[in-house]
A and B are shown apart, each in its own frame.
Chain A
């Protein structure tokens, strides 16, 4: 399409609300006079957004009225493009949407809302419309450009915590949970989260890259796995590169402030969590060895369980359940303390005297991914206990005697 006449609008979305941005093409003066020839107008404030070609003759409008909303003819008459500048080519497709004629105007509604920060170009073939501009003998097309300004949001989102939060973690630590104050933008965490050793050097390849990052439904908690190949014993990357953490050394988990939240704003501040790696943990959590602080009957005092080691923050929150002497689940509230090494349960109603039970899900893990049934990587020459047992369905019960 030859370039007939061009115009450009940066459309302001901020108050006062835009009603119509209309531009008369070819005649130089904005006017409501439809006999002035075709011109383009956009309204981005309404839903659906709309691009209109006004100033059509009645005959043209009547002719176009017969076309279906997705008729390929429309694209030869009016097409909206993302303006890609130097990257534009003949094979750049037009923006997908629905066409129609209303009140003598061509209306185009994009399938998806026009995006902030993107430049658009409307091309109208006036000769194909049969509505050539008056006096524009050599001009067969008109081009109209518009853009929505990029939105700038304030940097208010922060990392509110990382788990495990304790200062000493086993060198075969399996994962971090990173929690933020607002939903984040998924997909680029590994560019902003890094592990640094005591000399200030990055530990490369420490974390497992995944196509789909592991976010909670609100996108406020990221699960970041250490590369299991480097944590596992005997596995090639462990042999070649060694474990990412070495017992006895100090590290920093650093989250830089370039990470963007769900609005596109960067984090308000950098987050630096210092910790020390200690001896690897290759034992399953052992509920029989946990220390219980038993509540008295007729009180709502908390049942406290000390694991003797920090357990996985997320799993510990949901994999310990209390059942009453009749086998009914006891409602109540759970808190974790002392770096997730203590679990407290406050019942909604006072305890009754009798034998309650604390049921522990088989998939409850410690910081190194050892679950209650089996260790993370079983050395079958030494210990194959739990190897053939089902983890997900298994439970362990601990008696809770209330007097």
Chain B
């Protein structure tokens, strides 16, 4: 971390894959440190061919601009070379109002006929990538689009012919799976995806058993054998232990230990050491905070502000953007007490950042984070940035 803070690395890529790494002396502490867990994977195992998506799910960019995309219906993860050769080292934010209306218009349809699933920022070009569905019901088609920062140019990624590598999601139901009594109805939804220490971590939930399973697969993809699944549990009030699907997570060092901070649909914030994931198939996380009832943690990122202090940001369904301090999370004991009134937060406290309506979050450039945000006054869906100076 510290090394990366002092010598922020800039990846200079050719077609986004053959990335060379160089150091940029004199960069500030904030420079790209937020991508430090996004280890540049070697560009191996990719081939030019079609990505035959059955659904467009959540995404993640590694530092070198390799896009990881979940296809939950196809029970697959794709690593895609998006061939985004533009390089933007500027420190300004990005603002795109009515982004869903504009993407829909470029796709020849109207806003109500597209559904955006995820938005991520390319770490080198500062373009934004959206996974979405065009059309509804039987006519729905999964699409990936890029929207550039400078001129809001919308491009459809040529999935019919693009450099990619595909891997099956371990232990996920496949579309052609049969039971002995007929077609399987099992499916798996991916809620969050990230590259951590050279492995893809895949969180999600199934439509049948209520397990909470974290799937891990090495990247570059080397086959199913190397993948593992871990059953995840967490405690409430240090008494009840339960499974629950992880909604979003972030990989971070807590007290020097490589850890995960995970947000669950029923609002607890849970920490666990990544070493435990390697050791067992059954891992118990520690509940250290409750953001308050009636809320879902949509998305999470970590970043380092201008003073070199690291934080976690959480986008919520029914809270403002909230900031958590990893040092406090690291020092916290498991929560043991109950709250006294509805919606009361508990455990490790948070800073309620005065930004509401955030649906997606990502690191953006040296000075900014980027958000997909619903404007609560106009109803417009906008891309907005926030400088980390004040965060």
Residues of A within 8 A of B (CB): 80-82, 84, 87, 91-97, 110-115, 118, 120, 174-175, 183-185, 187, 205, 208-212, 214-219, 221, 223, 225, 227-230, 232-237, 239-241, 260-264, 312, 314-315, 317-318, 321, 329, 331-334, 363, 365, 369, 371, 376-381, 384, 387-393
Contacts and interface: CB of A to CB of B under 8 A. Distances in A.
Contact of A223 (B113, B141, B207): B207
25 contacts: A92-B105, A93-B102, A93-B152, A95-B108, A112-B141, A118-B110, A120-B108, A174-B210, A183-B137, A185-B136, A212-B57, A212-B190, A227-B265, A228-B244, A232-B244, A235-B242, A236-B268, A237-B266, A314-B208, A363-B211, A376-B242, A377-B241, A381-B239, A392-B229, A393-B281
A210 B187 CA distance: 14
A27 B110 CA distance: 33
B210 A318 contact: no
Interface stretch (B26-34, B161-169, B289-297): B289-297
Interface in B264-310: 265-268, 281-282, 290, 292-294, 296, 298
Given A317-B181, A388-B282, A229 B293 contact: yes
B142 to A, nearest CB: 12
Nearest to B235: A380
- Taking each of B72, B135, B207, B342, which has the highest tally of chain A beta carbons within 10 Å of its own beta carbon? B207
B227 interface: no
Interface residues of B, number: 80
- Taking each of A212, A218, A377, which has the highest tally of chain B beta carbons within 10 Å of its own beta carbon? A212
Given A317-B181, A387-B241, A390-B231, A236 B102 contact: no
Contacts, number: 230
Secondary structure type dominating chain A contacts? loop
Contact of A95 (B106, B265, B266, B339): B106
B89 interface: no
A371 B209 CA distance: 9
B252 interface: no
Contacts of B209: 315, 363, 365, 371
Contacts of B298: 211
Interface string B101-129: 11011111110010101000000000000
B300 to A, nearest CB: 14
B389 interface: no
A209 B296 contact: yes
Interface of B: 57, 72-73, 98, 101-102, 104-110, 113, 115, 117, 134-138, 141, 143, 152-156, 171, 175, 179-181, 183-187, 189-191, 205-211, 213, 229, 231, 233, 235-237, 239-244, 265-268, 281-282, 290, 292-294, 296, 298, 317, 338-339, 341-343, 346
- Taking each of A174, A235, A264, A369, which has the highest tally of chain B beta carbons within 10 Å of its own beta carbon? A235
